[in-house]
Amino acid sequence: LKKTLSLITTCLVLLTAKSKKTLAKPGVKNVVLVEGVRTPFLQSGTTYADLMPHDLARAALQGLLHRTGFPKEAVDYIVYGTVIQEVKTSNVAREAALGAGFSDRTPAHTVTMACISSNQAMTTAVGLIAAGQCDAVVAGGVEFMSDVPIRHSRKMRKTMLSLNKAKTLGARLSLLGSIRLAHLSPELPAVAEFSTAETMGHSADRLAAAFGVSRQEQDEFALRSHTLAKKAQDEGLLSDIVGFKVPGKDIVSKDNGIRPSTMEQMAKLKPAFVKPHGTVTAANSSYLTDGASAVLIMSEEKALAMGYKPKAYLRDFVYVSQDPKDQLLLGPTYATPKVLERSGLTLADIDVFEFHEAFAGQILANLKAMESDWFAQNCMGRKAKVGAPPLDKFNMWGGSLSLGHPFAATGCRLVTTVAHRLKKEGGQYGLVAACAAGGQGHAMVIEAYPQ
């Protein structure tokens, strides 16, 4: 009976016509995704440990060139995202592009917007093309958590800077003499939200509690993510990966963080942030990851003229922001209805959902928020809920929980995955949504390119 029921529903879904045939707008250039690639995402401190961020970025950019065979000089512009900046390569976009053998005549800039940095890179590219400034833009993002800038304390920095200016030996010696033990304690990059001094995991735990998401639900969702990722990996669906020869080490060609466990194993873990009664654990959170991604975005006409078959149209997108304390990770809830309205679509029109999974608790809280009239009315100023995406269309090839989450590289992975899933599953519209530190969020509608 269950089977027939689901069959009927599938038929019904297939029969229901989309509310719109295409999202092309008169007078607006069609922007397309030609190709998207990424390095394998590795847990930080593993095979990539001795690299630098621009090395990873280079690998993704080279992989893109290699896979598309795109002439380097035809790239008009490069936009790249990163979150934790390596101070030596503060404009990592430029360093990576030069290192990857792009033309030194192609300008490149770096953007940052926490976990939606590469989304910002892509939408910047879309804007450049739509405005007629460029025809072919490479966008992407890199995150390298195996090495992060750890600074001297402010006191020590001040002493060292004064030392530069000290003219006499006596002045230098007296400055050196002023160094105390306290000067030597290092300053780690902030893991906490600057405005609230709360770590993201702690906020996620509170968010899960606010929506009554249980530990069990979170563990189940994390297990689902890992199981689906494993399946996708085994079936060879993660075709956006380009192999990477790490100097002095083997060629890396697979993500290494996918590890389907059992509910019993996961239940043993202690909460990581809110102790002792919290629900967010290491197993139901995304982990520190190294990785880079890159996409080639073009105007449709130019792509076709150059003989490329685009993978998908990049359509409407929105950025949202809300209270960084209590609604830090609710970006998808706010962004989804907004982008659907812009496109004139309903939730039912979407065939493929790819949401960034920061924490299982965060995803489940977002799903509950989207299903709640109370939340829509009291917090979003909407008349009614928009509804939550059906799970059978949701992150079907794994997500950030299992594949890993190199902050600034995740956005391109989501968009490329939507394009690949639309093709594989025969859908027409896909939706990408993500949350980011600072209480911000993003969503984009993607339309399959006609076969």
Partner 1 sequence: MAGLRALGVLSRITVRHRYTLFSARTHVNYEVKGDVAVVRINDPTSKVNTLSVHMQKEMAEVLGEVWSNDAVKSAVLISSKPGCFIAGADINMIQACKSAEEVTYISQEGQKMFEKIEKSPKPIVAAINGSCLGGGLEFAIACQYRVATKSKKTVLGTPEVLLGLLPAAGGTQRLPKMVGLPSAFDMTLTGRNIRADKAKKMGLVHQLVDTLGPGLKGPEERTMEYLEEVAIECARGIVNKKIPLTKEKGMMQKVQDYVMSFPFVRNQIYNTVQKKVMKQTKGLYPAPLNIIDCVKSGVEQGSDAGYLAESQNFGKLAMTTESKALIGLYHGQVACKKNRFGVPEKEVKTLAILGAGLMGAGIAQVTVDKGIHTIMKDTTLEGLNRGHQQVYKGLNDKTKKKSITSFERDTTLSNLTGQLDYSGFQNADMVIEAVFEDIAIKHKVIKEVEAVIPPHCIFASNTSALPIKDIAAASKRPEKVIGMHYFSPVDKMQLLEIITTDKTSKDTTASAVAVGLKQGKIIIVVGDGPGFYTTRCLAPMLAEAVRVLQEGVDPKKLDSLTTGFGFPVGAATLADEVGIDVAAHVAEDLGKAFGPRLGGGNPELLKTMVEKGFKGRKTGKGCYVYQPGLKSKEVNMELNDILESFKLTPNPAVSSDSDVQYRLVSRFVNEAVMCLQEGILANPVEGDIGAVFGLGFPPCLGGPFRFVDTFGADKLVEKMRRFEDVYGNQFTPCPLLLDHAKDPSKKFHK
In the complex with partner 1, which residue's Cβ is closer, 86 or 198?
Answer: 198
Residue where the block lists tokens 């934790």? 84
Total residues in contact with partner 1, by rule CB under 8 A? 27
Give the phi and the psi of residue 252 in degrees, each rounded to 5. Answer: -100, 130
Known active-site residue 11: no
In the complex with partner 1, which residue's Cβ is closer, 194 or 383?
Answer: 194
In the complex with partner 1, which residue's Cβ is closer, 19 or 378?
Answer: 378
Q: Which of 292, 415, 311, 229 is nearest to 38 (CA)?
A: 292
In the complex with partner 1, which residue's Cβ is closer, 84 or 274?
Answer: 274
Among 29, 325, 382, 423, contact with partner 1 (rule: CB under 8 A): 325
In the complex with partner 1, which residue's Cβ is closer, 16 or 378?
Answer: 378
Name the CA radius of gyration of the chain, rounded.
23
Shortest distance, CB of residue 202 to partner 1, whole angstroms? 8
Crossing angle between the packed helical segments 92-99 and 53-68, to the nearest 10 degrees? 50
* Choices 5-13, 192-200, 344-352, 412-420 (CB under 8 A): range interacting with partner 1: 192-200
* Choices 141-149, 195-203, 335-343, 420-428 (CB under 8 A): range interacting with partner 1: 195-203
Shortest distance, CB of residue 277 to partner 1, whole angstroms? 5
- Report the largest interatomic distance among the alpha carbons of the chain, rounded to a whole angstrom: 90
Known active-site residue 54: no
| Burial class of residue 398 in the structure, from the number of CB atoms within 10 Å of its CB (0-12 exposed, 13-18 middle, 19+ buried) | buried
Catalytic entry in 54, 115, 134, 442:
115
Q: Tell me, what amino acid is at 267?
A: A
In the complex with partner 1, which residue's Cβ is closer, 211 or 397?
Answer: 211
Q: How far apart are CA 117 and CA 237, in angstroms?
A: 25
Shortest distance, CB of residue 374 to partner 1, whole angstroms? 6
Shortest distance, CB of residue 326 to partner 1, whole angstroms? 2
User: In the structure encoding, which two tokens stand for residue 122, read together?
Assistant: 């892509």
Residue 211 binds partner 1, judged by CB under 8 A: yes
Catalytic entry in 54, 134, 420, 435:
435
* Choices 66-74, 203-211, 244-252, 292-300 (CB under 8 A): range interacting with partner 1: 203-211
User: In the structure encoding, which two tokens stand for residue 41, read together?
Assistant: 């995402």
Among 64, 207, 303, 335, contact with partner 1 (rule: CB under 8 A): 207
Residue 196 binds partner 1, judged by CB under 8 A: yes
Residue list 372-391, contact with partner 1 (CB under 8 A): 372, 374-375, 378-379
Among 327, 336, 366, 416, contact with partner 1 (rule: CB under 8 A): 327
Binding track over 267-306 against partner 1, x by CB under 8 A: -------x-xx-----------------------------
Q: How far apart are CA 289 and CA 226, in angstroms?
A: 15
Q: Which residues, 6 or more positions from 59, have their beta carbon under 8 angstroms from its beta carbon?
A: 39, 242, 244, 292
Using DSSP, state whether 59 is helix, strand or coil: helix
Residue where the block lists tokens 């029921």? 5
Shortest distance, CB of residue 211 to partner 1, whole angstroms? 4
Shortest distance, CB of residue 213 to partner 1, whole angstroms? 9
In the complex with partner 1, which residue's Cβ is closer, 207 or 434?
Answer: 207
Residue list 333-372, contact with partner 1 (CB under 8 A): 365, 368-369, 372
Peptide bond into 276 cis (omega under 30): yes
DSSP string, 312-374: EEEEEEEEEE--TTTTTT-HHHHHHHHHHHHHT--GGG--EEEE--SBHHHHHHHHHHHT-HH
Shortest distance, CB of residue 246 to partner 1, whole angstroms? 41
Q: How far apart are CA 160 and CA 188, in angstroms?
A: 18
Q: Which residues, 6 or more positions from 412, have their beta carbon under 8 angstroms from its beta carbon?
A: 36, 38, 118, 121, 122, 139, 140, 141, 293, 294, 295
Catalytic entry in 202, 226, 356, 405:
405
DSSP string, 204-237: HHHHHHHTT--HHHHHHHHHHHHHHHHHHHHTT-
Give the helix ranges, DSSP H, for 263-321: 263-267, 300-305
Known active-site residue 405: yes
Residue list 217-276, contact with partner 1 (CB under 8 A): 274, 276
Shortest distance, CB of residue 55 to partner 1, whole angstroms? 36
Which are the catalytic amino acids? 115, 405, 435
- Site residues (vs partner 1, CB under 8 A): 194-197, 202, 205-207, 209-212, 274, 276-277, 323, 325-327, 365, 368-369, 372, 374-375, 378-379
